[in-house]
Amino acid sequence: MKKIEAIIRKSRFEEVRKALYKVEIHFFTYWDVTGQGNETEAHVYRGVSYTASDIQRRHISFVCNNEYAEPAIQAILAAARTGEVGDGKIFVSEVLESYRIRTGEQGSVSLKENR
Amino acid sequence: MKKIEAIIRKSRFEEVRKALYKVEIHFFTYWDVTGQGNETEAHVYRGVSYTASDIQRRHISFVCNNEYAEPAIQAILAAARTGEVGDGKIFVSEVLESYRIRTGEQGSVSLKENR
Amino acid sequence: MKKIEAIIRKSRFEEVRKALYKVEIHFFTYWDVTGQGNETEAHVYRGVSYTASDIQRRHISFVCNNEYAEPAIQAILAAARTGEVGDGKIFVSEVLESYRIRTGEQGSVSLKENR
Amino acid sequence: MQTTELTSQIPQLGLTVHNLWMMVSIMLVFIMHLGFSTLEIGLTRSKNTVNILFKNMMIVAVGLVTYAICGFNLMYPGDFGCIEGVLGFAGFGVGPAADYDPLTYHAVDGIGGTYTYWTDFLFQGMFAATAATIVSGAVAERFRLDSFFIFSILYVGLVYPIVGSWQWGGGWLSSFSIGESAGFHDFAGSTLVHTVGGWAALVAVYLVGPRIGKYVDGKINAIQGHNIPLAAIGVFLLWFGWFGFNGGSVLSADPETTSKVLVTTCMAAAAGALSAVIVSLVLFKSYDLSMGINGILAGLVGITAGADQMGVMDSIWIGIIAGAIVVGAVAFFDRLKLDDPVGALAVHLACGIWGTLAVGIFGAKAGMDQFLVQLIGLAATGATCIISSLVILLPIKALLGLRVSEIEEIEGLDMHEHQMEAYPDFRIDSH
Amino acid sequence: MQTTELTSQIPQLGLTVHNLWMMVSIMLVFIMHLGFSTLEIGLTRSKNTVNILFKNMMIVAVGLVTYAICGFNLMYPGDFGCIEGVLGFAGFGVGPAADYDPLTYHAVDGIGGTYTYWTDFLFQGMFAATAATIVSGAVAERFRLDSFFIFSILYVGLVYPIVGSWQWGGGWLSSFSIGESAGFHDFAGSTLVHTVGGWAALVAVYLVGPRIGKYVDGKINAIQGHNIPLAAIGVFLLWFGWFGFNGGSVLSADPETTSKVLVTTCMAAAAGALSAVIVSLVLFKSYDLSMGINGILAGLVGITAGADQMGVMDSIWIGIIAGAIVVGAVAFFDRLKLDDPVGALAVHLACGIWGTLAVGIFGAKAGMDQFLVQLIGLAATGATCIISSLVILLPIKALLGLRVSEIEEIEGLDMHEHQMEAYPDFRIDSH
Amino acid sequence: MQTTELTSQIPQLGLTVHNLWMMVSIMLVFIMHLGFSTLEIGLTRSKNTVNILFKNMMIVAVGLVTYAICGFNLMYPGDFGCIEGVLGFAGFGVGPAADYDPLTYHAVDGIGGTYTYWTDFLFQGMFAATAATIVSGAVAERFRLDSFFIFSILYVGLVYPIVGSWQWGGGWLSSFSIGESAGFHDFAGSTLVHTVGGWAALVAVYLVGPRIGKYVDGKINAIQGHNIPLAAIGVFLLWFGWFGFNGGSVLSADPETTSKVLVTTCMAAAAGALSAVIVSLVLFKSYDLSMGINGILAGLVGITAGADQMGVMDSIWIGIIAGAIVVGAVAFFDRLKLDDPVGALAVHLACGIWGTLAVGIFGAKAGMDQFLVQLIGLAATGATCIISSLVILLPIKALLGLRVSEIEEIEGLDMHEHQMEAYPDFRIDSH
Ligand SMILES: Nc1ncnc2c1ncn2[C@@H]1O[C@H](COP(=O)(O)OP(=O)(O)O)[C@@H](O)[C@H]1O
Ligand SMILES: Nc1ncnc2c1ncn2[C@@H]1O[C@H](COP(=O)(O)OP(=O)(O)O)[C@@H](O)[C@H]1O
Ligand SMILES: Nc1ncnc2c1ncn2[C@@H]1O[C@H](COP(=O)(O)OP(=O)(O)O)[C@@H](O)[C@H]1O
């Protein structure tokens, strides 16, 4: 099982969501984070102009069986790209075990569709 | 050391907290996330009814020594379950190292109680 | 590649940011979480005094190449410490792969500076 | 123009001035409903915000309509056809009598007519909804919406005006006297509005039970309100509205009386704030803004019964005592496990009682006889309100239930009763 | 003092009273702009909040200044020098005529002078900005700021006052009659303010197109507003302001008329709220607060044309129908893919039309002739507004464009046009 | 009724009307405190919200009470027993003199009595707290609560009324003249309220030092306010309140003067908004709402000294210049490292000075002599305020300290001084 974490622009979120659907990733969890990176944003406040390198981004995280990982990564890479500095990153790591709380199922079956 | 991540219903949070206490998990970190999954929620807004599959959930995360992992998982499974679609997931992964910032302690001792 | 996760006091955030800069960690992602631990906070609300053990903390997360990990950890340990209960934790885990969305670069090069 | 011609305009001009003041007061009392709304949502959790706003907004509408249908004619029946001094009814609907002349509709000696029929109706109508709003705050976060509205319609449509008629409609209470005392005195409604709302709130809070998590294992937990700025906006707007609530209750723009009423009102509010803050600083070692808010309201409710009778120092004392009472009362009701998220019982019931009694202690009417009259008036109206509330609420409880389901309460009434969130863009960390 | 000396003060005293009421009304109409502001930001997404506030705040400034420069003298030209009954202009700038005497500036039979030149200007100036604000709400979240201001300046500076002059400035509409009817009747501006804003909003919404994500694959999506408490504050403040909008439109403090206008206004608002809530409860099985809010506004807009003509029951019926119309109209405009984030078309256009027609159906002037006059008045003003809006907007569209870029719309106008966030401390989960 | 009988009511009727206007003004000035509250919390960080609300709410209470105890009698001493024209005191407490008659208490030629003793006290009392509120905004986010209240009590209780007595109490400044000039002119308090607050703010800001992180390594950082909608609500309410602040300062409801004052007030506010926005658009290439907000306030403060003297064009010019000044002043104070989170120095001090001087430049009194008188008045009051502030603040600094601890400042005053959060349900990303 792999855990895929992607830090993307909020404005690309809907595209990424759609792309993940296409590769059968229907389950994921996301939250908003602040990213510190290359990109900066111009602000003006009461006559002070300044640039901030803290930029709001969306963090998407999901766990999937190994065979889903590569297509999902490609899907995100394609959907989240604008080509401008600040498009974000994808990280992949290993997950040992997974449980579906509702049924108590364990292992790769717990990641499969089941209503 | 294991990292346990659980994505649960907000309404089950207090139960889960209590259950974790019983298995001696007194330390954890949580934040609110949006989950995309099977469950949908009905909304009405200015005469438009719609269902959303983005549902607010709570993400609990903690790192514990290996022997604590299994009881903690069972505790969450029991406390977070309602039996309805949308109860959430638990993921387990390996952690290489841990530090307590206050004391600089490293390794499994840093996860033990110490006031 | 290593993923470093640190849960720190919000009030130490600026110090930690500076310390990470010094060890050439220019990229990271952070968000606010609630920590459940030893520390408690006193509150008063409409005549009821109570203590809460849910305390707002900041969660910093970044992935770096192996040789950067140790200096980064030491930097955080030094910058985030106040010596009072509640200073937080650092966790280290293994990451399998990393991608830069903008360029599609993969592997350790994707973690290097590139504008 | 001829002198006499001009002079004949004077009564009309007088009516215009006084009526203008009353219309300003109407608006001020109206805006109190916004004050109540933001105060109540500020002091409760975000997950119930839409629900509370819905109640507070609709209660104005329901209040005005029921008052138009029957409330006004129950409260000001003219003569008490049904039971002398206790119950009268001038028929359904509104509209002036055939021989209506605004110049004489409400004429004050030495002043002349002071307002029109329409002003009268609207001013009273705006007051009416207040009583139900008080209940809404006290039972917030767990009361069923439908049950609340059934209760409100009956309470605002029937109980409030009937009790009100005893005093303001010229019923038995207005002429009830002991010894020297010249009748029950309730200038702007410490009893007739605030305790009438407060008693119903008490019964409703008792019947519906506390919120989940409020009293656990004998411990009192604080359930914090989610938006203190909104609560602060609420209390400022309520103070603002009270200029009309008390100022308008003079029923004319008489300069000396109205301006003095504004002074006593403001001094009581200021004193209430200071006293509540100082008392809670001593007790809890903290500058407790939530108590400061309650202290202002305590002072305002406390002065309401006697705002026209008090001197400056009297009103400061009334405010100081009200501020202390409210701190004690919040703790007291908590001790009794009467869970009142916004402190409505402490403010409206406890300080409404205090304000009514204060007329017998401070100011122009002070005296043992007056004190007794006030006490009896309180007892009579209190008993009536408690009994009526039970008579209305118990059947509702049996048929519909008063309380939402547990899951609804935990996940919030907004999502379940309204399928809407108050703050969809914000990350909420609901508690 | 001598009797005659005293008596000679009566006209001045009358002027003072009536003028005082008008000044109170000015303030109330002013505060409506705060109401519009919070309503509009409440019903839109957090990422566009600064933008909407900027528009609403600056529109007051722009409105007042353009009205001072030319609007006032276009709307109240005295005589129609240019085209009889259609277009007149009394010159740039403001200031009373040489022979100005406040006692006769606006004298009402049997009452005398009721306000000064300055009161007149400011009251009308506060009204003027309202029309542009209506447009602002309807095109929120995607309209360019510069294009909006160019449009507003021209529309508030020219179109609004010219159309207004036809009726309130004594132009052709004010004396237009069919059969028995005594001229077009628009008491406080259902047509002249609300539909004038509404038609422009319709054209602008059509030209600018819907927000991204609103209509996808033939499906209508709800884009929730981000702050329901602010929307609720808005609607309360608008109701509050309407006391002055309608009450001040009496143009004197005449006690009987003003107080009755306040009653009809409030009853229509209350009825509108109840009706919209009940209709949407039946249709959507949900207590829809957002519709309750629209219902109140619907009732208020609906009563505005005939607030002085209606009885209590008439105003309740007008409110009930307005409340039902608004629910239908929201769905109707959505069906037409006219995306209106705050419901301005449903409230101001649909209910403005309804209110104008209602004068021919309910109340003192009801009758077929009057109905036709109202209809023709609506048609004439509507056509003028639509054409003028096109004439102004099409060139702007060609030169500057009406719409912000896609990325700007997705990331929010706040960051792009203002480089500022509305809530920097809060975690926003923008949608 | 007999003609003479009726006629005898005229003076009383006049008093009623004028007093009514003053009571309306009292309410409007009162609601300014809500405006200040939401403006200040909007422009500061969420972690200090409860603290600021606490200060703003309690300052009203403290202001009214200290004004009742001694302020009123210091400001309007009747005769200057202590130092002729400089210091007088009519004793502790409030209450009219034995021979008090409202008909003559404040009689204006040709108008008669215009308000009662009570109205006078309350109107002045509402003004008094304003000065301390100005300070509260400027030192927000780092000043100790206890030190602030000690300062406020002394400043509002002693300095404000003594300085005020020089002009409004009939002291030396009111009759000070050079050449042709007819005495210092400060209609509604550009000097006596706004700069009196502003100078104290300047001293306090200087003594307490900037917020951590504001000036780092010679760079000026922006510390954004957390809730722009609240700031916008604040500025609208302040404008609304200014109708009473300036309108009430006419001290009667005289129709021509009051309505013209409202016009000049509104035009200056509108012009200030436009000018500040345009200037900052040119300088910073951004539609800066925060500057628009300051521009409105700048215009309002600027017109306050001469609102009764100006024509429409004068007031527009005053507003335009004030709007430009405020943009420059914000940058200027930042350059001096005087950290003022809400721009109180730029608005109240800089534009208060501008407004005072403008009386010598624009309007009916313009002239070199008048300009000099205004300048000297400014210098005298300014010196007094600065010295008094130092005399009060330095001992407080020595004994208690002015500033909270570093950890308290970083984590927020709310948690440390109040143990309460403003938004417990929201995820805060504090900065
Ligand atoms: N090594 C990292 N660990 C965690 N988050 C990262 C890392 N590198 C980048 N990010 C996240 O990705 C975002 C975009 O990165 P940035 O450097 O601005 O652009 P780019 O990747 O296009 O060079 C950052 O804001 C940050 O949130
Ligand atoms: N593979 C996954 N990766 C990350 N989060 C997941 C995954 N599967 C489910 N979740 C989270 O769990 C929540 C509940 O899942 P859902 O499919 O709705 O119910 P159930 O698990 O009962 O079938 C989702 O909203 C999502 O936040
Ligand atoms: N094992 C853990 N897993 C996840 N988070 C933890 C763990 N231990 C501590 N934390 C986080 O660190 C914070 C500080 O820990 P605490 O026990 O209060 O202080 P200390 O580490 O100084 O003893 C907690 O609030 C919690 O957020």
Each residue's pLDDT tens digit, E186-213: 999 999 999 999 999 999 999 999 999 9
Structural tokens at position D327 = 């701190």
Q: Name the residue of C7, C11, C36 whose CB sits within 8 Å of the most ligand 3 atoms, as the mutation to test its pocket.
A: C7
Nearest residue of C to residue A54, measured between CA atoms: C29
- Between the alpha carbon of residue D202 and those of residues A107, D206, E179, E398, the distances in Å are 54, 6, 62, 65
Contact (CB<8Å) B32/D410: no
A53 Cα–ligand 3 center, Å: 28
**Neighbour subunits, B (≥3 Cβ pairs < 8 A):** A, C, D, E
- Pairing assessment for the beta strands B2-9 and B89-94 based on DSSP bridges: antiparallel
F408 Cα–ligand 3 center, Å: 22
Query: Which atom of ligand 3 is the closest one to the Cα of B111?
Result: 1
Question: How far apart are the C-alpha atoms of F55 and E142, rounded to whole Å?
Answer: 39
Cα–chain-centroid distance for residue D138? Answer: 13
Task: Find the chain C residues whose C-beta atoms sit closer than 8 A to any C-beta of D.
Answer: 34, 43-50
Contact (CB<8Å) E20/D20: yes
pTM, to two decimals = 0.96
B16 Cα–ligand 2 center, Å: 17
Residue E85: predicted pLDDT: 83
Residue A55: predicted pLDDT: 85
Residues 6+ apart with CB under 8 A from F274: E58, E61, E62, E65, F295, F320, F323
Residue B64's pLDDT band, with cuts at 50, 70 and 90, is very high
Structural tokens at position E364 = 């003192």
Query: Which atom of ligand 1 is the closest one to the Cα of C110?
Result: 21
Residue E88: predicted pLDDT: 85
Nearest residue of B to residue E333, measured between CA atoms: B47
Residue F138 amino acid letter: A
Q: List beta partners, residue B35.
A: A29, B55
Residue C115: predicted pLDDT: 64
Each residue's pLDDT tens digit, D256-304: 999 999 999 999 999 999 999 999 999 988 999 999 999 999 999 999 9
Each residue's pLDDT tens digit, E51-74: 999 999 999 999 999 999 999 999
Residue F88: predicted pLDDT: 85
Residue D381: predicted pLDDT: 97
Question: How far apart are the C-alpha atoms of D32 and D30, rounded to whole Å?
Answer: 5
Mean pLDDT calculated for residue range E140-150 = 97
Q: Is E287 on the interface with D (CB under 8 A)?
A: yes
Nearest residue of C to residue F422, measured between CA atoms: C45
Question: How far apart are the C-alpha atoms of F209 and F142, rounded to whole Å?
Answer: 9
Return the exposure string of D93-125: e unless at least 16 CB atoms fall within 10 Å of the residue's CB, then b.
Answer: ebebeeeeebeebbbeeebbbbbbbbbbbbbbb
Residue E380: predicted pLDDT: 97
D1 has pLDDT over 60: no
Residue closest via CA to ligand 2's atom 8 equals A27
Residue F42: predicted pLDDT: 97
Residues with CB under 6 A from ligand 2: A 27-29, 61-64, 100, 102, 111; B 7, 35-39, 55, 57, 85-89
Q: Name the residue of B20, B29, B106 whose CB sits within 8 Å of the most ligand 3 atoms, as the mutation to test its pocket.
A: B29
Residue E431: predicted pLDDT: 60
Task: Find the chain C residues whose C-beta atoms sit closer than 8 A to any C-beta of B.
Answer: 2, 6-8, 31-38, 57, 59, 73, 76-77, 80-94
In DSSP notation, E188-214 reads: S-IIIIIIHHHHHHHHHHHHH-PPTTT
Place of tokens 């111009």: A42
Interface test with B, best of D54, D430, D431 (most B CBs within 10 A): D430
Contact (CB<8Å) C49/D284: yes
In DSSP notation, D183-220 reads: S---SS-IIIIIIHHHHHHHHHHHHH-PPTTTEETTEE
Biggest alpha carbon–alpha carbon distance for chain A: 58
Query: Which atom of ligand 3 is the closest one to the Cα of B114?
Result: 23
Q: Which of D224, D327, D429 is opposite residue C47, by nearest beta carbon?
A: D327
- Nearest ligand to residue C59 Cα: 3
Q: Which of F7, F47, F247 is opposite residue E6, by nearest beta carbon?
A: F7
Residue A115: predicted pLDDT: 64
Q: Which of C34, C43, C47 is opposite residue D330, by nearest beta carbon?
A: C47
Q: Name the residue of B20, B21, B27 whose CB sits within 8 Å of the most ligand 3 atoms, as the mutation to test its pocket.
A: B27
E412 has pLDDT over 80: yes
- Residue F357 is inside which H or E element, if any? helix F351-361
Structural tokens at position D367 = 């005296």
Residue D92: predicted pLDDT: 86
Instruction: Give the ipTM.
Output: 0.95
Residue D90: predicted pLDDT: 85
- Between the alpha carbon of residue E182 and those of residues C107, D23, E176, E179, E370, the distances in Å are 84, 30, 8, 8, 8
Q: Is D323 on the interface with C (CB under 8 A)?
A: no
Q: Is F416 on the interface with C (CB under 8 A)?
A: no
**What own/partner pairs with CB < 8 Å and gap ≥ 24 does D215-220 have?**
D215/D337, D215/D339, D220/C48, D220/D334, D220/D335
Closest CA to F59 of F128, F143, F158: F128
Residue E232: predicted pLDDT: 97
Interface test with A, best of C101, C111, C115 (most A CBs within 10 A): C101
Query: Which atom of ligand 2 is the closest one to the Cα of B86?
Result: 19
Task: Find the chain B residues whose C-beta atoms sit closer than 8 A to any C-beta of A.
Answer: 2, 6-8, 31-38, 57, 59, 73, 76-77, 80-94
- Between the alpha carbon of residue F102 and those of residues B110, E20, F117, the distances in Å are 78, 20, 7
Query: Which atom of ligand 1 is the closest one to the Cα of A84?
Result: 22
How high does pLDDT run on average in chain C? Answer: 91
Place of tokens 């008669």: F112
Residue closest via CA to ligand 2's atom 3 equals A62
Each residue's pLDDT tens digit, E330-367: 999 999 999 999 999 999 999 999 999 999 999 999 99
Interface test with B, best of A14, A101, A103 (most B CBs within 10 A): A101
- Residue C2 is inside which H or E element, if any? strand C2-9
Question: How far apart are the C-alpha atoms of C91 and B1, rounded to whole Å?
Answer: 10
Question: How far apart are the C-alpha atoms of F431 and F416, rounded to whole Å?
Answer: 17
Q: Which residues on chain F are in Cβ contact (under 8 Å) with C80?
A: none
Q: Which residues on chain D are in Cβ contact (under 8 Å) with F119?
A: 255, 259, 262
Residue D416 C-alpha, separation from nearest chain C C-alpha, in angstroms: 27
In DSSP notation, F42-98 reads: HTS-GGGHHHHHHHHHHHHHHHHHHIIIIIHHHHS-SS--SBTTTB----SS----T
Q: Could you tell me if F222 and F283 are in contact, meaning their C-beta atoms sit under 8 angstroms apart?
A: no
What is the residue-level pLDDT of chain F in tens, covering all 431 positions? 577 888 888 999 999 999 999 999 999 999 999 999 999 999 999 999 999 999 999 999 999 999 999 999 999 988 887 888 888 888 888 999 999 999 999 999 889 999 999 999 999 999 998 888 999 999 999 999 999 999 999 999 999 999 999 999 999 999 998 988 889 999 999 999 999 999 999 999 999 999 999 999 889 999 999 999 999 999 999 999 999 999 999 999 999 999 999 999 999 999 999 999 999 999 989 999 999 999 999 999 999 999 999 999 999 999 999 999 999 999 999 999 999 999 999 999 999 999 999 999 999 999 999 999 999 999 999 999 999 999 999 999 999 999 999 999 999 999 999 999 999 888 777 66
Question: How far apart are the C-alpha atoms of A47 and F284, rounded to whole Å?
Answer: 7
Question: How far apart are the C-alpha atoms of B93 and B70, rounded to whole Å?
Answer: 12
**Neighbour subunits, D (≥3 Cβ pairs < 8 A):** B, C, E, F
Query: Which atom of ligand 2 is the closest one to the Cα of A103?
Result: 22
Residue A92: predicted pLDDT: 97
Residue F425: predicted pLDDT: 87
Mean pLDDT calculated for residue range E117-136 = 93
Structural tokens at position E134 = 């209506």
Q: List beta partners, residue A4.
A: A62, A92
Q: Which residues on chain F are in Cβ contact (under 8 Å) with C32?
A: 427-429
Question: How far apart are the C-alpha atoms of D156 and D148, rounded to whole Å?
Answer: 12
Residue E1's pLDDT band, with cuts at 50, 70 and 90, is low
- Nearest ligand to residue C101 Cα: 1
Report DSSP state, residue C106: B
E392 has pLDDT over 80: yes
Query: Which atom of ligand 2 is the closest one to the Cα of B57?
Result: 27
Residues with CB under 6 A from ligand 3: B 27-29, 61-64, 100, 102, 111, 114; C 7, 35-39, 55, 57, 85-89
Q: Which residues on chain E are in Cβ contact (under 8 Å) with F235?
A: 57
Interface of F with D in 216-275 (CB under 8 A): 227, 230, 233
Residue D428's pLDDT band, with cuts at 50, 70 and 90, is confident
Closest CA to D153 of D116, D200, D194: D200
Residue F1: predicted pLDDT: 53
Residue E50 C-alpha, separation from nearest chain A C-alpha, in angstroms: 12
Q: Could you tell me if D283 and D253 are in contact, meaning their C-beta atoms sit under 8 angstroms apart?
A: no
- Pairing assessment for the beta strands A2-9 and A28-45 based on DSSP bridges: unpaired
Higher pLDDT, D197 or D86: D197
Residue C52's pLDDT band, with cuts at 50, 70 and 90, is confident
- Between the alpha carbon of residue B107 and those of residues B28, B92, E281, F385, the distances in Å are 17, 18, 60, 62
Q: List beta partners, residue B57.
A: B9, B33
SS3 B62: strand
Nearest residue of B to residue A106, measured between CA atoms: B90
Contact (CB<8Å) B87/A101: yes
- Nearest ligand to residue C35 Cα: 3
